[in-house]
Amino acid sequence: MPPVGENGILYDVVESIYTPGLNGGVVIVLAAILLVLFMVNVFLLVVVGPNIHVIVLLCLTVILSGLMIWVIPQITEAQNNAKKEQTGSEAESSDKPSEDTTESKKDN
């Protein structure tokens, strides 16, 4: 799971609107929402009784939660790999002289 920023969960959620990727605050809010949705579905199942609609909604909630548990680490890993590649390409570009300068030296 991505780490929560220094400014808190609410700040991370609002910041995620303007920045690409996934941060810790969004993951925590998503987990809380899915937990509340699961509890509401279980409550409805107990109060209403075995109803096909409530059972389907409960199954969809469990499937969605499982998929999010599976996808979030993949997104985090992809973000980390992209950051490593970006820093690696920046380091390579600072080590090598640019092609424009080498071509202009050949022309002289």
Is pLDDT above 90 for 67?
A: yes
* pTM greater than the 0.85 cutoff: no
Span 78-82, average pLDDT: 87
Lowest mean pLDDT among 28-32, 48-52, 89-93: 89-93
Q: Which long-range contacts (C-beta less than 8 Å, at least 24 apart) are formed by 66-71?
A: 68/30, 68/31, 68/34
Do residues 37 and 61 touch, judged by C-beta distance below 8 A? yes
Go through the chain and tell me how many residues it has. 108
Q: Half-sphere exposure of residue 15, counting CA atoms within 13 Å on the CB side?
A: 15
* Residue position matching structure tokens 């303007």: 18
pLDDT in tens, 4-44: 667 778 888 888 888 877 788 888 889 999 999 999 999 99
pLDDT at 7: 76
* Residue 12: how many other CB atoms lie within 10 Å: 23
